[in-house]
Chain A
Amino acid sequence: MAHRRVVITGMGAVSALGQGLDAHWDALAAGRTGISQIQRDIGDGSIHKYGGPAGVAPVLDTSQLEARLGPRPIAHLDPFSAFSVVAGQEALTQSGLIGHPTLEHRTVMVWGCGSGGNQTIEDGYSRAFLKGATNVHPLSIPKQMISAPVSHLSMLFGVQGPAFTVASACASSGHAIGEGLWMIRSGRADAAVVGGSEAALTYGSWMGWIALKAMADDTCRPFSIDRRGMVLGEGAAALVLEDYEHAKARGAHIIAELAGYGATSDAHHITMPHGRGAEAAIRAAHEDAGLSLDTPVLISSHGTGTALNDKIESGAIRSVYGADVAQNRVIATKSAHGHLIGGAGAIELVTGIQAMVNNLAPPILNSLGPDPECDVPLVMEPEAHNFQAVVSNSFAFGGLNAVLIAKRV
């Protein structure tokens, strides 16, 4: 069955590398890192200290949103919502859809988040447990609910079609983008605002990741020998997807085509990945995109920097592409901005598309040398290229996998 073609007409990003896609991309292209050592405390600071490497987003400039809407709609947002509306505003502004009739009733919003409003939840807990207070902020629930970002996006931009949040841990926004793609393909909408966000650099969240022994104590070194784990980042990325004919008819600038989506589940373990799910998702995405496996591609990897993920992902890539793997290139930008969890799939797709349209693959940072178990063609220095497609991998805890493919138009 022939589906409607879907293209990307807007993109936005907030990460430790900066606010705005240009700031994010310029830093990546120059090989700059957004990861730094943080030291924080809660309460009186005597007990609850935490710290280590992290990708901290900048203080947001919301003047563009305020100029259009005033300060009130964005005054009481948890950071995971604030990142979302800033990235959403950038993507929608670029698309030229703000104020367009399609936005009102023929647009859907699908957003990916891993964990909800951590800061709001933890502010409430610390108030109750540390200070002994018997009440919490009246906006605690509406600020922390995992659907808050997409509700705010809908309110700020007047989108009245279906809007909801998808949660699949580190693949949340990969799934959100893929499902948004299908809502346009199936005719349920002409446009979709998709992406995801996370703000999890809070005490409780940090403790949880530390306890899992998933966090690096030095920095994020994807596919490197002696890598020691992941580094948490924060931020958001947004894309505006649009039916190709709709975009063409209104003379929109088309950035790329969103051509393929493959989603699978490992059905294996709540933290350990299994290569079969990753491999099947990459194959499914190629099939969906009509892109043969011997076509050279840029791979925006999941590349977390944990011992097991990178080994399993390398194996899946080698297995899918066989001898043709040598003509591909693998990037791993978590080495620069950290792991955005619910926002990871979106920021890495957006980054991969930037790399494709700018003909430049950004370098993987912090390598200590090759790991024989990660024998894939890694980009270690900024590298000029002419790939016609980018494959963006998201492989989440619990074995939930989403792979997206974008092509040049």
Chain B
Amino acid sequence: MAITADQILDIIAEEVPIDRADLKPEATLEALNIASLDMISVMFALEDKFGVIIEQTDVAEVKTLAEFISVVQAKAETKAAAG
């Protein structure tokens, strides 16, 4: 299942929670004051909602929202291809 950037940002806004308008793709997690535990909640919600399993190691190097979105979308495509 394809996941759009907006769907991912919606989940971040809901889970952290944080104002959706602040979630610009180029923003860094650090600048948004989003902690790693917040992102674990986000990844749990993504798994629950879209069935895409993201490991912490997958996002270890992620700094910006855009990078996070890329990781999630790549994982979702791999999952779809695998079937």
Q: Point out residues on A near B: beta carbons under 8 Å.
A: 71-72, 75-76, 135, 137-139
Shortest A98–chain B CB gap in Å is 23
Please, how many angstroms separate the alpha-carbon atoms of A75 and B40 in the complex? Answer: 15
**Residue contact B17 to A139, C-beta cutoff 8 Å:** no
Closest beta carbon of chain B to A165's beta carbon, Å = 22
Beta-carbon nearest neighbor of B38 in chain A: A72
- Could you tell me if A138 and B16 are in contact, using CB atoms closer than 8 angstroms? no
A138 touches B37 (CB 8 A): yes
> Does the CB pair B18–A137 fall under 8 Å?
no
Indicate if the CB atoms of B18 and A139 lie closer than 8 Å. no
Within 8 Å CB of B41, what residues of A? 76, 137-139
Selected A-B contacts with CB under 8 Å, 18 pairs:
A71-B17, A72-B16, A72-B17, A72-B18, A75-B15, A75-B16, A75-B17, A76-B41, A135-B44, A135-B47, A137-B41, A137-B44, A138-B37, A138-B40, A138-B41, A138-B44, A139-B37, A139-B41
B30 CB, nearest partner CB in chain A, Å: 15
Q: Which of B11-26 contact A (CB under 8 A)?
A: 15-18
Known: A138-B41, A138-B44. 5 other contacts (CB 8 A): A75-B15, A75-B17, A135-B44, A137-B44, A138-B40
Against A, the Cβ 8 Å flags (1 = close, 0 = not) of B31-67 are: 0000001001100100100000000000000000000
- What's the Cα separation between A135 and B40 when bound, in Å? 12
A249 to chain B, nearest CB (A): 39
- For A138, the chain B residues whose CB sits under 8 A away are 37, 40-41, 44
Q: Which of chain B's residues have a CB closer than 8 A to the CB of A75?
A: 15-17
Residues of A within 8 A of B40 (CB): 138
A286 to chain B, nearest CB (A): 49
Q: In the complex, what residues of B have CB within 8 A of residue A137's CB? A: 41, 44
Residues of A within 8 A of B15 (CB): 75
Q: How far, in angstroms, from A39 to B59 measured CA to CA in the complex? A: 43
B47 — which chain A residues lie within 8 A by C-beta? 135
Nearest Cβ on chain B to A117's Cβ, whole angstroms: 16
> A139: nearest residue on chain B (CB-CB)?
B41
- Inter-chain CA distance A139–B43, complex, in Å, is 12
Residue of B nearest to A131 (CB): B48
Q: How far is the CA of A297 from the CA of B18 in the complex (A)?
A: 51
Q: In the bound complex, what is the Cα–Cα distance between A75 and B35 (angstroms)?
A: 14
Closest to A127 in B: B48
Cβ–Cβ < 8 Å partners of A71 in chain B: 17
A134 to chain B minimum Cβ distance, whole angstroms, is 10
Cα(A138)–Cα(B38), bound, Å: 9
* Distance between Cα atoms of A76 and B37 in the complex (Å): 12
Q: How far is the CB of A155 from chain B (nearest CB, A)?
A: 14
Chain A residues with Cβ below 8 Å from B16 are: 72, 75
Task: A139 to B35: give the CA distance in the assembly, Å.
Answer: 13
A88 CB → nearest B CB, Å:
21
Shortest A145–chain B CB gap in Å is 15
Give B35 Cβ to nearest chain A Cβ, in Å: 10
Chain A contacts for B18, CB-based, 8 A = 72
Tell me which residues across on chain A come within 8 A of B44, comparing CB atoms: 135, 137-138
Which residues of chain B are within 8 angstroms of A135 by Cβ–Cβ distance? 44, 47
Q: What CA separation (Å) do A263 and B42 show in the bound complex?
A: 46
Minimal beta-carbon separation of B28 from chain A (angstroms): 17
Least CB separation from B53: chain A residue: A135
- Shortest distance in angstroms between B73's beta carbon and chain A's nearest beta carbon? 22
Residues of B within 8 A of A72 (CB): 16-18
Cα-based distance from A72 to B17 in the complex (angstroms)? 6
In the complex, the chain A residue whose C-beta lies closest to that of B37 is A138
In Å, the complex CA distance between A71 and B16 comes to 9
State A71–B13 Cα separation when bound (angstroms).
Answer: 11
**Cα A71 to Cα B15 with chains together (Å):** 11
